[in-house]
């Protein structure tokens, strides 16, 4: 059962007992507040500030506007040249390599910092820790935990913790992260499918497969090389994803096919660009 609160929470009327949800839940106003406040974990009561600081709201709105402008400029730079020949394909690849990591930084700053803090201030939501110092991490295990605390807390509470009931405790800590990462990768694929209307299991491959392997590696935190390796891996992964998704976007534009559901899962890059490269 996917319940909207943690099963160990006994502080309010939303009480979990004997594997069942309590028939007495929070009020409708509490549920509406949960829908709009920047958290994925339902609670009857959240820590809240006394008043809305409108000066801070204006500051966050300004930051959102600036970051959206930067994202728009970078998106136009990446998608400016339709890859109709080898020269444009090479320029698109170099553009993705140049702006890939910056694109990730700005997009993360827009959502995890500016946007979520804006809604926190508007709803007087006091818990503002949406990310941690992921840029100092030396391994992907720490990066996955610190990059997006909003999603990490939800996955830990509703997926990772529930696997305790399904997996033998002897093997739990060793293999429970695998389905957790795979489910997260599938969700990211769904998020990308919504605007692109195509599914290349690229995130599932990079995030679910290589991410699971790198999740196991625990290098020494005192060696700076591993921090550089982490940033290089992020840059490489984001650049490759931007390039391939850009190519697939234009391939579906230049080589349209029938709109059947199965075509959503079939990449068109090779068939569409084979004649161009040839």
Q: Which of 148, 115, 114, 143 is nearest to 131 (CA)?
A: 148
pLDDT band at 276 (very low <50, low <70, confident <90, very high): low
Would you say residue 3 has pLDDT above 50?
A: no
Would you say residue 19 has pLDDT above 60?
A: no
| Catalytic residue of the set 113, 141, 188, 231 | 188
Would you say residue 55 has pLDDT above 90?
A: yes
For residues 196-208, give the mean pLDDT. 75
Would you say residue 92 has pLDDT above 70?
A: yes
Question: Catalytic: 253?
Answer: no
Q: Which residue has the tokens 């390039």?
A: 243
Q: Which residues, including other chains, have CB under 8 Å from residue 182's CB and lie 6 or more apart?
A: 204, 208, 212
pLDDT band at 1 (very low <50, low <70, confident <90, very high): very low
Instruction: Measure Cα distances from 33 to 16, 38, 79 in Å.
Output: 21, 10, 38
- For residue 274, the model assigns a pLDDT of 61
- For residue 147, the model assigns a pLDDT of 85
Evaluate whether 167 touches 175 at the Cβ level (below 8 Å).
yes
Instruction: Measure Cα distances from 273 to 2, 221, 240, 250 in Å.
Output: 44, 44, 17, 10
- For residue 63, the model assigns a pLDDT of 93
pLDDT band at 138 (very low <50, low <70, confident <90, very high): confident
Evaluate whether 233 touches 272 at the Cβ level (below 8 Å).
no
């Amino acid at each position: 059962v996917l319940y909207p609160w943690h099963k160990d929470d006994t502080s309010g009327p939303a009480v979990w007992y004997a594997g069942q949800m309590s028939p007495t839940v929070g009020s409708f106003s509490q549920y509406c507040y949960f829908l709009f406040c920047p958290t994925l974990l339902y609670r009857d009561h959240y820590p809240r500030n006394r008043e809305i600081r409108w000066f801070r709201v204006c500051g966050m709105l300004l930051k959102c506007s600036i970051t959206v402008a930067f994202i728009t400029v970078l998106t136009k730079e990446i998608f400016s040249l339709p890859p109709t020949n080898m020269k444009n394909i090479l320029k698109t690849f170099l553009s993705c390599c140049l702006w890939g990591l910056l694109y990730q930084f700005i997009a993360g700053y827009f959502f995890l910092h500016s946007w979520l803090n804006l809604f926190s201030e508007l709803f007087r939501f006091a818990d503002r820790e949406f990310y941690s110092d992921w840029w100092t991490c030396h391994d992907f295990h720490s990066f996955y935990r610190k990059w997006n605390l909003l999603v990490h807390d939800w996955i830990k509470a509703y997926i990772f913790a529930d696997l305790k009931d399904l997996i033998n405790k002897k093997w739990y800590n060793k293999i429970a992260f695998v389905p957790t990462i795979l489910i997260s990768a599938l969700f990211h694929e769904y998020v990308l499918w919504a605007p692109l209307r195509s599914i290349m299991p690229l995130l599932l491959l990079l995030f679910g497969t290589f991410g699971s392997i790198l999740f196991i590696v625990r290098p020494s935190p005192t060696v700076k090389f591993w921090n550089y390796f982490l940033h290089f891996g992020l840059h490489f992964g984001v650049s490759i994803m931007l390039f391939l998704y850009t190519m697939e976007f234009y391939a579906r534009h230049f080589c349209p096919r029938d709109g059947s559901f199965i075509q959503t899962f079939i990449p068109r890059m090779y068939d569409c660009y084979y004649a161009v490269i040839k």
